[in-house]
Structure 1
């Protein structure tokens, strides 16, 4: 098995939040990753068409999309990539709905640290890999 860092796509419009998130992850020494940052949903979707990512970190308030429609736009086009939502949108209904529809995690900004985020990323990747393996087993 070849080792490689986790490829993370961050879709977040606030540069301060993006820097804070990256600083959090940098403090987790055992978490090796490559981060690509897009400021708009449209740019993130274009990046996903051109590059293979292991996980998506998604804010739900972007200049060109807001709320659960942001999640749906990404998930409907790339359902095999785990999505960890992190947002200041404190709406438990949207949180539950996005989880029901396939988001792997829903974190509220300011309520997690780098260890929490790296754990959420690793768990989301493991869950999606497990779900994909079940689809393979049951589709044969």
Structure 2
């Protein structure tokens, strides 16, 4: 990665959770980012179509989508963008399914801090970049 800010798309319907998440990231001084926040899946998908993002932070309970289908819609529309799920949905089955289907991280609200989140974002980006570089090498 270069030294530009990390472009983060946050898809979260609760403004309090969104503010808390942004405050967490602001406290991590070495983490430079630009955050775009959408309250609905539909709006987040529009952002993904119209702008480039380095990572998506995704809640699985939104006004217009819920559960694993929320993840699948984002993943289908932006398969090369890492997705970090953060949710209050304590469902181990959904967590495992989303990870098997390509989610990079699955964090439970209230159980992580800014450092955990910034680390999850950075590791997610690095893993996806690595997989994409392996795919490019196998083509050549």
Q: TM-score when scaled to structure 2?
A: 0.98
Shift of 1:77: 1.2
1:2 & 1:106 partners in 2: Cα distance? 26
Counterpart residue number, 2:76: 76
Q: Which runs of 5+ in 1 are unaligned?
A: none
Do 2:13 and 2:63's aligned partners in 1 also have CA atoms closer than 8 Å? yes
Distance 1:37 1:48 in 2: 12
Q: TM-score, normalised by structure 1?
A: 0.98
Look up the SS of the partner of 2:25 in the other structure. Answer: helix
In the alignment, the residues of structure 2 paired with residue 111 and residue 3 of structure 1 have an alpha-carbon distance, to the nearest angstrom, of 29
The Cα of 1:139 is off from its aligned counterpart by 1.9
Q: Which residue matches 1:55?
A: 55
1:78-133, CA deviations, whole angstroms, 9 ceiling, x for partnerless residues? 11000000000000000000000000000000000000000000000000000000
The answer for unaligned runs of 5 or more in structure 2 is none
Q: Does 1:36 align with 2:36?
A: yes
Q: CA deviation at 1:39?
A: 0.1
